Structure 1
Amino acid sequence: MSIVELKMPKMGESISEATILNWLKKVGDSVEEDETILEVATDKVDSEVPSPCDGVISEIRFEPNEVVEIGTVIAVIDADGEVVSKTSSSDEVQPEKSTQKEPNPLVQTKTKSTTNSDFRILNTGDNDGFLSPLVINIAKKENLSIEEVQSIEGTGEGGRIRKSDIIQYLKNRKYPLPSRPQTITPKSTYNTPPINFVEGKDRIVEMGRMRKMIADHMVYSKHTSPHVTSYIEVDVTNIVNWRNAVKNEFLEKYGEKLTYTPIFVEAVAKAIAAYPMINVSVDGDKIVVHDEINVGMATALPSGNLIVPVVRNADEKNLLGLAKKVNHLANNARNNALKPDEIGGSTFTISNVGTFGSLMGTPIINQPEVAILALGIIKKRPEVITTEKGDEIAIRSMMYLSLSFDHRVVDGFLGGSFLRKVGDELEAFDNNRKIELKDMRKG
């Protein structure tokens, strides 16, 4: 019998483990090469795992919701296609599964829990204070105190605590650390208003895994960064006229749709180059200034959830290169096909709230960044403009820009200057810009 081991695939440079969401096949089922066998999830993205060959699944070693390290064998496939009895597989395979997993305690199965919500927002010393939902769940199951979690030395990027760090700590843990006296702000005495639920009329919808992560991330951002939002109004008539004039030619020459997003990304990249202190992260009392300009695009998924694909090194791409990248990321987002490397690593984020008809917005900062730009709807309005003949009233295409920034490290001068620079870049857009292929560098 030819046996093929199905391993948890690598899902990005910084990803060391993934959670099994759902098995689409069971023991005894036939599979074809590249047919999806299961769905897995990381803290960043959900993915499908295909079969490496034709055959029959003879063993499944992990159940849904279990967390598995990258490279671990999660199933075994009989490539000779010998069908395994479905009635006997569960009885015969389970003992083998348990004996193989005992030496490698990837997942703790204790059922103890704690209601300590402080695990959602922890100051863990050397790292940035953010704990993944996976680490939070393990800490709760094992009844770890905040002090114990803070004492664990993280081996992840920037000192972040990973699942393997907390498992290693649990293996060597002899007794819980004594709790230190609490010196944090006393719990509020405000009583949460009751929610009126009308039986038979109202309904309850459980949050999905991604929605829970978004909720945690938003609350964490508001707790971490004192948000300030500034606004400006920008005349984008030149951009609208230029795009309307060339979008068909652009599509014909390059096979790419020309949307407003690459134009906005280009303006933001130029403004970041002029004001690099907006392209930073905060690490305790240190400011990390990022060399790369990686612009995230807040994008709505078909499910209604939000994700942020990233245009890496946006300052090194021309308009054609930006259009290709933006279209690629947008298509992958709509088709739920974004790869882990296409999501992480942004240093600044834009959110086009005008897509939904909003005049302006007050966006929440995408941690660990320190600023986010919202782009409002483009509307035609009568405006007073200055011409050679003097002041005149003309129909212009106008839009609002709003910048939310972290007032710990970005003051009003920097935030306002950066926002004005973005507006100036948009208003100075060359109305006579050519799109000859020979003038386009490779994007």
Structure 2
Amino acid sequence: MARFEVKLPKMGESVAEATITSWLKEVGDTIEMDEAVVEIATDKVDSEVPSEVSGTLIEILFEKDAIVQVGETIAIIETSADVNPTTVAKTVVEEPKEVQEVEKTIEKAAEIVATPILKTSDSGKFYSPLVRNIAQTECISMEDLENIEGSGKEGRVTKEDILQFVANKKSAPKTTNKEVETPKKVVESTPKEQPKVPVSVNGGDEIIEMSRMGKLIAKHMVDSVQTSAHVQSFIEIDVTNIVKWRDKVKDAFFKREGEKLTFTPILMQAVASTIKKYPMINITVDGDKIIKRKNINLGMAAALPDGNLIVPVIKNADQLNLVGMTKQVNDLANRARINQLKPDEIQNGTYTVTNVGSFGSVMGTPIINQPQVAILALGAIRKVPAVIETTEGDFIGIRQKMFVSHSYDHRVVNGALGGMFISTLKDILESWDLNQDF
């Protein structure tokens, strides 16, 4: 028999840790090779960790909701296969005496009555089990916890942050009754904080808890509106030639490439070409500095089965021909629907495109995907009557048209750039050659 360590796999260059959301197997269960053992979640995406061997699960090293670093062993599988046997080594780190005392106190947390600490706050902040235990033991309120400036990834409060807060709280000088005594006039003139008005719920209403991803999306949207000065430009594009060309070549395309040719890769390729002409739309803002991105990484908003949206990213989109773009679009869209995206595949986007037309909308005003500075919404393609200009005069004809909506950050993108961008996109799409090959 050999012991095989199941480790938290590397999930992308910028992903250092994940939260265990659910164990799919219990100790004693038989596991087949490539069978999922545990579900994990990062700040962006949920995924599963499969087993690299067949065997029996004999030990689980982390409980549900625990935060695990990439590379850490999370479980042990006993296998009869010829694998390199490994043993689990626990690294002992000598910590300061005060830290050890706090951690000893945590073991007795169940005996201490304290304010309940939520895993995710109303503002969307996530708190690890250890941080919540320390907060509950030290009777730290959710309000105090929210005010702690986290030094962890994306502002997450770490063990060191909360221990420092506890130490500062204990060392703060105590005030006497005389010092806190407030004159009556001051009390009367001080405006009271208005309490939150509770939402009325009657017998016919249903209370639905927001999902973890839903809370993250909600926070991301509010943060974006508070960060960027949103402004929109709209333009109508005649895509009649593209519709005719796609109808003509889609069967041959599928026969040769084994991929369905939709309008999305055609439009994404045109967007990438437009960004190349206007690189100052491919930027991010860092304080009072502008970072001009070298790579054009197109985010492609995709709907999930639960109604939420996720944005997989097509890296170096300007370097792909139509076949390459089609394969990328189809692959990412298909895996997004079955929750099979890797964390690295939804990061480092520099510009986002969302297709509101897939839901029948003529146009939309999308919210910028931070830290980007612009986002494009594609409306539905419709047959409409249009004025057609010829050398022999104007006449009314039926054309295939669509609206595109361009939201951009007016702090760094002015109306001229925002308008010229979609005007150039219009020119590229309307000059589509009906006789070109794919």
- Give CA-to-partner distance per residue, 1:170-212, whole Å, 9 cap, x none: 466632598xxxxxxx99978867544221x221111111111
1:249-302 Cα deviation digits (max 9, x unpaired): 111111111111111111111111111111111111111110100111100011
Equivalence for 1:418: 421
Question: Aligned-residue CA RMSD in angstroms?
Answer: 3.2
How many correspondences in the alignment?
Answer: 390
Contact 2:67–2:128 (Cα < 8 Å) also in 1: no
Match of 2:18 in 1: 18
The match for 2:206 is 203
Larger Rg: 2
Q: What is the distance in 1 between the residues matched to 2:19 and 2:145? A: 24
Structure 1 pair 138–308 and aligned structure 2 pair: CA distance change class (3 A): farther
Q: CA deviation at 1:118?
A: 10
Q: Tell me the distance in 1 between the aligned counterparts of 2:132 and 2:432.
A: 52
Picking from 263, 266, 270, the partner of 1:263 is 266
Q: 1:261 to 1:39 in 2, by over 3 A?
A: same
Partner of 1:239: 242
Match in the other structure for 1:309: 312
Query: Aligned partners of 1:189, 1:431: CA distance in 2, in Å?
Result: 65
Which residue does the alignment assign to 1:353?
356
SS of structure 1 residue aligned to 2:149: helix
Aligned mates of 2:382, 2:341 — CA distance in 1? 32
Q: Measure, in 1, the Cα distance between the counterparts of 2:132 and 2:420.
A: 44
Partner of 1:38: 38
**Match of 1:230, SS?**
strand
Structure 2, gaps ≥5 residues long: 82-87, 173-189
Tell me which residue corresponds to 1:175. 168
3-state SS of paired residue (1:149): coil
Q: Which amino acid aligns with 2:248?
A: A
**Contact residue 113 and residue 141 of structure 1 kept, 8 A:** no
Shift of 1:31: 1.4
d(CA) in 2 for partners of 1:112, 1:423: 58
Q: Which residue of 2 aligns with 1:401?
A: 404
Shift of the 20–400 alpha-carbon distance from structure 1 to 2, 3 Å rule, reads same
What does 1:211-222 correspond to in 2, within 5 Å? 211-222=214-225
**Which residue pairs with 1:51 in the alignment?**
51
Aligned 8 A contact 2:312 2:346 in 1: yes
CA drift at 1:30: 1.7
Question: Aligned pair in 2 of structure 1 residues 367, 10: CA closer, same or farther (>3 Å)?
Answer: same
Cα offsets for 1:91-119 (capped at 9, x unmatched) = xxxxxx9x9899799xx97776679x999
| 2:437 maps to which of 434, 438, 442 | 434
Q: Which amino acid aligns with 1:379?
A: R
Q: What amino acid does structure 1 have at the position aligned with 2:249? A: V
Where 1:400 maps in the other structure, the secondary structure is: strand
One-letter code aligned to 1:415: G
Residue 427 of structure 1 deviates from its aligned partner by 1.1
Sort the Cα spacing of 1:308 and 1:187 in 2 relative to 1 into closer, same or farther, 3 A.
farther
The Cα shift of 1:70 comes to 0.8
User: Is 1:75 the equivalent of 2:75?
Assistant: yes
Report if the CA contact (8 A) 2:32-2:53 is conserved. Answer: yes
Contact 1:375 1:401 in 2 (8 A): yes
Residue matched to 1:335: 338
Q: In 1, are the aligned partners of 2:126 and 2:156 still within 8 Å (CA)?
A: no
User: What one-letter code is carried by the residue in structure 2 that aligns with 1:278?
Assistant: I
Q: Does residue 382 in structure 1 map to residue 385 in structure 2?
A: yes
Q: Distance in 1 between matches of 2:29 and 2:354?
A: 44
Residue matched to 2:368:
365
Is 2:56 the counterpart of 1:64? Answer: no
Shift of 1:169: 3.9
Q: What is the rounded CA distance, in whole Å, between the counterparts of 1:138 and 1:423 in structure 2?
A: 52
Partner of 2:186: none
Give 1:28 shift.
1.6
- Output one character per residue of 1:151-182: Cα deviation in whole Å (capped at 9) or x when no partner: x4x6x6xxx5466xx3344466632598xxxx
Structure 1 contact 295–311 (Cα < 8 Å) conserved:
yes
Displacement of 1:229 in angstroms is: 1.2
1:273 corresponds to: 276
Identity of aligned pairs, percent? 49
